[in-house]
């Protein structure tokens, strides 16, 4: 066990401080070579750290680490279980692809916004790792603020009024979300005197203050996660950001808020909610699935289609609360993982499209040459995965969710899950339709620029990974189930 603790300490340090040091070094040292390669090297190294950590966790079970050797409640704890492990893997894989893509993108004469990306993105990456490791309410608040500010900064890397307006709208929502979350933390602390997740269930008996805290924390996090009724900032912000930034915003940043909702509901606040409230959360998620998909069907710009698809796909995550079972747990985690990879692939491929043709309108997608074919293949495979068709990770996730819905006798969620898949198939087919040879011939058939090899292969590799996910569900399931809370509501 002592050895396991040491592994956790080293791996956690690497996960949080590795990307952070990348940001600091790139900011201070003016060599372009560093900007292009350092992040990529570190993301490869972190995969190794995560691999070691995973096998350690498999033998030792969920783990906790008291920072500074100061035990909770005075000190801050980090904690790791299957859910956070999956989120860390998602972050690591997306980071690897984005760093590879950006290595090409940043090559040569980088402009101001590209230089900004090279510094701000590693900070965001570090904060996301910190957030997925966090097990302390106030620590979560601070990491969330880093994530939010970095995300806003990434949006305004794009020049122009549209991005500025989108960023301001984002900031207002995020600010309101932070304050609500902070109020919840204050209420919890006043009622329990504890901030650590592991100690909260015992210290926080049901009370009006605790219920209010649950309500405001959930509302605040929903704003950060762009769950359906408070999603208004997402499409503009994610569409406005530069493509690699859109990829991390859509694949990772909004996941952070949803992840925290699940973590808190199934952990510290487990005793505070009833099945009726869980059904309500599920209904909110279902509404998001339908609304986001319908909006995605109506958008004219490829990045906006993908952004609205995020609103829809996030709606699956709250379904875990009413379904509350180990199958639903696996399905939700798998869905988050799969969506993260697929969405990053889509935004990076959209970035290639804009880079090569300078045209992001939906009907402009076409296969001009071999490069274009690879790019469109990435979009198609990621689309298959989002729709949950058989060989993909999305299929496995939906399978588990459906299993949970029938096992708990809640067939209505099954309808939502299937309908969501069909709608996703519809908007992806609409996106791909012109490329399959049915679109109007484009006036300007020559490509503007050619994309680097890494730029082309990064989204394709991510998309292929979602297929790999589809074939190793049974192998990954025990990892996801590490330390899974099995709430008594199921």
Partner 1 sequence: MSLWAYCATAAGLFAIGLYGLLAYSDFIQRLLAANIMVSAVFLYLIVTAASTATPPHPVPQAMVLTGIVVAVSVTALALVLVLVRCLRALPDDAAPRPQDTAGSADG
Partner 2 sequence: MSGALEASFDLLLGAALLWLAWHSVAAPQVLRRVAMFLVFGLLMALVWARLGAPDLALAEAAIGAGITSALLLGAGVATPHPDLDGAATRTTRSACGVPRPVLAVLCTLLGIGLALVMYATASTPAPAPSTAAVDAHVLGNPVTAVLLDFRGYDTLLELLVLLVALLGARVLGERLEPVPATAPPGGVAPMLDQLLAMSTPVLLLTALYVLWAGSDAPGGAFQAGALLAGLGVMYSLAGRLQPLAHTPHRLRLLLVLGVGAFALFACASLLWSPAPLTFPARGARALALTLDLALMISVAVTLVLLFLAAPGARIGRR
Nearer to partner 2, 156 or 467 (CB): 156
CA separation (Å) from 200 to 41, 85, 193?
39, 22, 9
Q: Under the criterion CB under 8 A, does residue 301 sit at the interface with partner 1?
A: yes
Show the binding pattern over residues 157-196: x = contacts partner 2 (CB under 8 A), - = does not: x-x---------------------------x--xxxxx--
Q: Which does 295 bind (CB under 5 to 8 A by kind): partner 2, partner 1, none?
A: none
Q: How far is the CB of 462 from partner 1 (least distance, A)?
A: 18
CA separation (Å) from 271 to 167, 205, 323?
37, 8, 16
Using CB under 8 A, which of 34, 146, 283, 389 touches partner 2? 146
Q: Which does 163 bind (CB under 5 to 8 A by kind): partner 1, partner 2, none?
A: partner 1
Using CB under 8 A, which of 359, 410, 419, 430 touches partner 1? 359
Q: Which does 28 bind (CB under 5 to 8 A by kind): partner 1, partner 2, none?
A: partner 2
Q: In angstroms, rounded to a whole number, what is the distance separating the alpha carbons of residues 56 and 58?
A: 5
Q: Which does 300 bind (CB under 5 to 8 A by kind): partner 1, partner 2, none?
A: partner 1
Q: In angstroms, rounded to a whole number, what is the distance separating the alpha carbons of residues 93 and 98?
A: 9
CA separation (Å) from 356 to 217, 235, 263, 365, 429?
43, 23, 41, 11, 22
Residues in contact with partner 2, total (CB under 8 A)? Answer: 58
Q: Which does 209 bind (CB under 5 to 8 A by kind): partner 2, partner 1, none?
A: partner 2
Strand-pair partners of 65: 78
Whether cis (ω within 30° of 0) applies to the bond prior to 88 is no
Q: Under the criterion CB under 8 A, does residue 177 sit at the interface with partner 1?
A: no
Q: List the interface residues with partner 2, window 199-238 (CB under 8 A).
A: 203, 207-209, 212
Using CB under 8 A, which of 41, 66, 198, 419 touches partner 2? 66
Q: How far is CA 274 from the centre of its chain?
A: 27
Q: Which stretch binds partner 1 (CB under 8 A): 5-13, 17-25, 50-58, 150-158?
A: 150-158
Show the binding pattern over residues 96-135: x = contacts partner 1 (CB under 8 A), - = does not: -----------------x----------------------
Q: How far is the CB of 127 from partner 2 (least distance, A)?
A: 7
Q: Under the criterion CB under 8 A, does residue 110 sit at the interface with partner 2?
A: no
Q: How far is the CB of 258 from partner 1 (least distance, A)?
A: 22
Q: Which stretch binds partner 2 (CB under 8 A): 144-152, 299-307, 417-425, 444-452?
A: 144-152
Give, rounded to a whole angstrom, the gap between the first and last alpha carbons of the chain: 32
Q: List the interface residues with partner 2, window 26-65 (CB under 8 A).
A: 27-28, 30, 65
Contacts 24+ apart (CB under 8 A), 110-114: 110/32, 110/35, 113/157, 113/158, 113/159, 113/242, 114/242
Q: Within a 13 Å sphere around the CA of 370, how many CA atoms are in the beta-carbon half?
A: 3
Nearer to partner 1, 57 or 311 (CB): 311
Residues making contact with partner 1 (CB under 8 A): 73-74, 113, 138, 141-142, 145, 149, 152-153, 156-168, 171-172, 175-176, 178-179, 182-183, 186, 189-190, 195, 239-240, 242-243, 300-301, 303-304, 351, 354-355, 358-361, 364
Residues making contact with partner 2 (CB under 8 A): 2, 5-6, 9-10, 12-13, 16-17, 20-21, 24, 27-28, 30, 65-70, 73-76, 112-113, 116, 119-120, 123, 126-127, 130, 138-139, 142-143, 145-146, 149-150, 152-153, 156-157, 159, 187, 190-194, 203, 207-209, 212
């Amino acid at each position: 066990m002592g050895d396991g603790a040491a592994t956790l300490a080293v791996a956690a340090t690497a996960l949080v401080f590795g990307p952070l040091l990348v940001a600091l070094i790139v900011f201070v040292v003016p060599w372009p070579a560093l900007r292009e390669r350092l992040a990529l090297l570190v993301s490869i190294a972190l995969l190794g750290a995560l691999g070691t950590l995973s096998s350690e966790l498999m033998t030792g079970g969920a783990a906790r680490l008291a920072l500074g050797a100061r035990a909770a409640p005075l000190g801050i704890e980090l904690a790791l279980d299957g859910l956070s492990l999956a989120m860390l893997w998602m972050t690591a894989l997306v980071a690897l692809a984005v760093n590879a893509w950006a290595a090409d993108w940043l090559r040569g004469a980088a402009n101001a916004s590209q230089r900004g990306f090279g510094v701000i993105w590693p900070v965001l990456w570090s904060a996301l790792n910190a957030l997925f490791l966090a097990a302390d309410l106030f620590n979560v608040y601070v990491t969330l603020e880093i994530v939010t500010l970095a995300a806003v900064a990434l949006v305004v890397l794009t020049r122009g009024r549209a991005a500025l307006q989108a960023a301001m709208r984002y900031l207002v929502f995020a600010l309101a979300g932070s304050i609500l979350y902070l109020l919840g933390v204050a209420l919890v602390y006043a009622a329990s005197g504890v901030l650590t997740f592991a100690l909260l269930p015992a210290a926080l008996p049901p009370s009006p203050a605790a219920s209010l805290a649950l309500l405001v924390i959930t509302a605040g996090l929903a704003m950060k996660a762009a769950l359906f009724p408070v999603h208004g900032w997402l499409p503009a912000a994610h569409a406005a950001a530069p493509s690699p930034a859109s990829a991390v915003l859509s694949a990772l940043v909004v996941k952070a808020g949803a992840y925290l909702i699940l973590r808190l509901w199934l952990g510290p606040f487990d005793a505070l909610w009833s099945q009726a409230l869980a059904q309500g959360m599920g209904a909110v998620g279902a509404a998001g699935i339908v609304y986001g998909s319908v909006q995605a069907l109506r958008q004219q710009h490829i990045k906006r289609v993908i952004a609205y698809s995020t609103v829809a796909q996030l709606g699956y995550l709250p379904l875990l609360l009413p379904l509350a079972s180990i199958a639903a747990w696996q399905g939700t985690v798998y869905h988050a993982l799969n969506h993260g990879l697929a969405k990053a692939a889509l935004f990076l491929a959209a970035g290639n499209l804009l880079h090569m043709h300078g045209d992001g309108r939906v009907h402009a997608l076409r296969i001009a040459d071999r490069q274009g074919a690879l790019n469109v293949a990435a979009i198609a495979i990621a689309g298959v995965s989002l729709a949950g068709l058989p060989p993909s990770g999305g299929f496995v996730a939906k399978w588990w969710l459906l299993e949970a819905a029938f096992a708990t006798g809640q067939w209505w969620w099954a309808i939502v899950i299937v309908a969501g898949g069909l709608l996703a198939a519809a908007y992806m087919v609409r996106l791909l339709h012109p490329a399959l040879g049915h679109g109007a011939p484009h006036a300007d058939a020559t490509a503007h620029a050619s994309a680097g090899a890494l730029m082309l292969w990064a989204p394709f590799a991510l998309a292929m990974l979602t297929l790999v996910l589809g074939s190793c569900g049974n192998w990954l399931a025990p990892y996801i189930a590490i330390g899974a809370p099995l709430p008594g509501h199921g």
